[in-house]
């Protein structure tokens, strides 16, 4: 099938590359010329395992191409996936102006039947607005109706760091549409994945996405709240989470206590869902609390650091990890970046190491904290980051932090103290090796 992908961010790029890999002809469009120029050369601007190879391979086979020309790309395609950003405004309300502009552009470029699919995470009723926007354009006579169109919602459930795997082996695919024709086309498109498919109306599909991300965020805040109770009582959060998760109704995943969730999805989608509920006249106070607990978790970590170093002012803190999760260089809403800013505010010096996110962090922190450039050193590896530190803090659970030479690490530290914000080390082992160790919810 011929597919047009509008927006080449994480979602658009992964979706486009994976559809091409399934044998479709995919035309990816973005208004950012620099990004498109780089993609045309086979250079992917983000780090996502396997993505660059997949993009290059499919470009070579002539199944994947990039351009800034939305008109031509829409004309050549039957299915148009809208993957543009829906950032949060100050109020938490999602900004849908880019999406509306794209809907108009698509309408103006229609030369035959088109199936327009929302892939971006959008508020419930956005599908109706897209349809109405295009219909209005036709009704006004500004554009001749050619071939008709349908709108569908097909939310993505891709996790950064494992996006390709998630695309190819999804737990489920959600297709929201009121049209039999659109349903048939999308069922055919996804047939090779042999995954369970849920077909709904558009509004239900839109809510499935926001409700799923909100529920997962709630699970994380729940386990973080339990970790505070464990800290106060001497129970072990790892054991509590395991004991809870073995109940199939609860499940073991997303019960890792830590420094709180971040990234470009959960915080934004929570804000959006709270805002949507407000607009509909419902105060979703449960989600407000999820947000509050998530934000407080950073204070929990700062408190643990001060338990080990006393005054943070003047101390050197070694930071392991800057990205919001492992296997990505993404630092959008990254808890480690917030924690570094909190440490700066308390007068600490930082030695930081991240396998992939150092450059992005350097640029972002220089912009956010221009007076603190000299207070942070970006190190070449974990050992370098440990040199002369009063305390080490693990902020991202990259695999390489799990397999270090701890005797060497201990010698490099000024004070052998570790705050493990991701619970990646065994407290007993750390104690045996002579570290003063504090995890999350594991006294």
**Contact positions with ligand UGA (CB under 6 A) in 323-342:** 324-325
**Contact positions with ligand UGA (CB under 6 A) in 89-128:** 121
Nearer to ligand UGA, 256 or 354 (CB): 256
Q: Count CB neighbours of 310 within 10 A.
A: 10
In order, the DSSP letters of 355-401 are SS-HHHHHHHHHHH-GGGGGGEEE-SSHHHHHTT-SEEEE-S--GGG
Clarify whether 389 is annotated catalytic. Answer: no
**Contact positions with ligand UGA (CB under 6 A) in 120-179:** 121, 156-160
Instruction: Tell the burial category of 9 from Cβ atoms under 10 Å away from its Cβ (0-12, 13-18, 19+).
Output: middle
User: Which residue in 392, 407, 369 sits closest to 438, CA to CA?
Assistant: 392
Length of the chain: 443
Nearer to ligand UGA, 148 or 251 (CB): 251
- Structure tokens belonging to residue 320: 């392991």
30 contacts ligand UGA (rule: CB under 6 A): no
Could you tell me the smallest distance in angstroms from the CB atom of residue 202 to ligand UGA? Answer: 18
By CB under 6 A, the count of residues binding ligand UGA is 20
Residue 316's contacts (CB-CB under 8 Å, 6 or more residues apart) are: 348, 349, 350, 351, 388, 389, 390, 414
Nearer to ligand UGA, 77 or 121 (CB): 121
SS3 286: helix
Nearer to ligand UGA, 74 or 293 (CB): 293
Could you tell me the smallest distance in angstroms from the CB atom of residue 13 to ligand UGA? Answer: 13
Could you tell me the smallest distance in angstroms from the CB atom of residue 297 to ligand UGA? Answer: 9
Asked if 55 and 13 count as a contact pair (C-beta separation under 8 A), the reply is yes
**Contact positions with ligand UGA (CB under 6 A) in 249-278:** 254-256, 258, 261-263, 265-266
Asked if 410 and 433 count as a contact pair (C-beta separation under 8 A), the reply is yes
Nearer to ligand UGA, 272 or 312 (CB): 272
Could you tell me the smallest distance in angstroms from the CB atom of residue 277 to ligand UGA? Answer: 18
Nearer to ligand UGA, 65 or 323 (CB): 323
- Structure tokens belonging to residue 176: 């929201």
- Structure tokens belonging to residue 19: 């559809």
Could you tell me the smallest distance in angstroms from the CB atom of residue 370 to ligand UGA? Answer: 26
Nearer to ligand UGA, 159 or 387 (CB): 159
Could you tell me the smallest distance in angstroms from the CB atom of residue 321 to ligand UGA? Answer: 10
Could you tell me the smallest distance in angstroms from the CB atom of residue 264 to ligand UGA? Answer: 7
**Contact positions with ligand UGA (CB under 6 A) in 369-428:** none
**Spatial separation of the C-alpha atoms in residues 346 and 26, rounded to whole Å:** 50
**Contact positions with ligand UGA (CB under 6 A) in 176-235:** 213, 216, 220
In order, the DSSP letters of 199-263 are EE-HHHHHHHHHHHHHHHHHHHHHHHHHHHHHHHHT-BHHHHHHHHHTSTTT-STT---SS---S
In order, the DSSP letters of 9-61 are SHHHHHHHHHHHHTT-EEEEE-S-HHHHHHHHTT--SS--TTHHHHHHHHHHT
| Among 230, 265, 389, 391, the one annotated catalytic | 265
Which residues are the active-site residues?
Answer: 265
Residues contributing to the site for ligand UGA (CB under 6 A): 121, 156-160, 213, 216, 220, 254-256, 258, 261-263, 265-266, 324-325
């Amino acid at each position: 099938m011929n597919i047009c992908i509008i927006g080449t961010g994480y979602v658009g790029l992964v979706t486009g590359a994976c559809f091409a890999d399934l044998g479709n002809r995919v035309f990816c469009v973005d208004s950012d010329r620099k990004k498109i120029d780089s993609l045309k050369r086979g250079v992917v601007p983000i780090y996502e395992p396997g993505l660059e190879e997949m993009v290059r391979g499919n470009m070579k086979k002539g199944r994947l191409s990039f351009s800034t020309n939305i008109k031509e790309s829409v004309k050549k395609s039957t299915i148009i996936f809208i993957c543009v950003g829906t950032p949060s405004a100050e109020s938490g309300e999602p900004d849908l102006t880019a999406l509306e502009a794209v809907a108009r552009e698509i309408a103006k470029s229609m030369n035959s039947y088109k199936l327009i699919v929302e892939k971006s995470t959008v508020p419930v009723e956005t599908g109706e607005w897209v349809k109405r926007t295009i219909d209005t354009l036709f009704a006004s006579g500004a554009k001749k109706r050619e071939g008709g169109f349908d709108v569908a919602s097909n939310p993505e459930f891709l996790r950064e760091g494992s996006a390709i795997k998630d695309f190819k082996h999804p737990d489920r695919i959600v297709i929201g549409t009121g049209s039999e024709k659109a349903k048939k086309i999308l069922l055919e498109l996804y047939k090779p994945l042999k995954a369970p498919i849920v077909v709904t109306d558009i509004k239900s599909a839109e809510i499935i996405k926001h409700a799923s991300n909100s529920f997962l965020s709630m699970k994380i805040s729940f386990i973080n709240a339990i970790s505070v109770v464990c800290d106060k009582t001497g129970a072990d959060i790892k054991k509590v989470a395991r004991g809870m998760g073995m109940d199939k109704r609860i499940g073991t995943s997303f019960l890792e206590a830590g420094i709180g969730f971040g990234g470009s999805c959960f915080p934004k989608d929570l804000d959006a869902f709270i805002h949507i509920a407000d607009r509909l006249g419902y105060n979703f106070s449960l989600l407000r609390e999820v947000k509050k607990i998530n934000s407080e978790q950073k204070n929990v970590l700062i408190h643990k650091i001060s338990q080990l170093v006393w005054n943070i002012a003047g101390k050197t803190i070694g930071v392991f990890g800057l990205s919001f999760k492992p296997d990505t260089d993404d630092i959008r809403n990254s808890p480690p970046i917030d924690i570094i800013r909190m440490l700066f505010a308390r007068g600490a010096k930082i030695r930081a190491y991240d396998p992939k996110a150092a450059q992005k962090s350097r640029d972002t922190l220089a912009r956010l904290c221009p007076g603190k450039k000299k207070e942070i050193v970006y190190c070449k590896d974990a050992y370098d980051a440990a040199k002369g530190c009063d305390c080490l803090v693990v902020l991202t659970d990259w695999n390489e932090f799990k397999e270090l030479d701890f005797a060497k690490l201990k010698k490099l530290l000024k004070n052998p103290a570790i705050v493990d914000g991701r619970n990646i080390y065994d407290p007993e082992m750390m104690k045996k090796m002579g570290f003063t160790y504090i995890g999350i919810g594991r006294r």
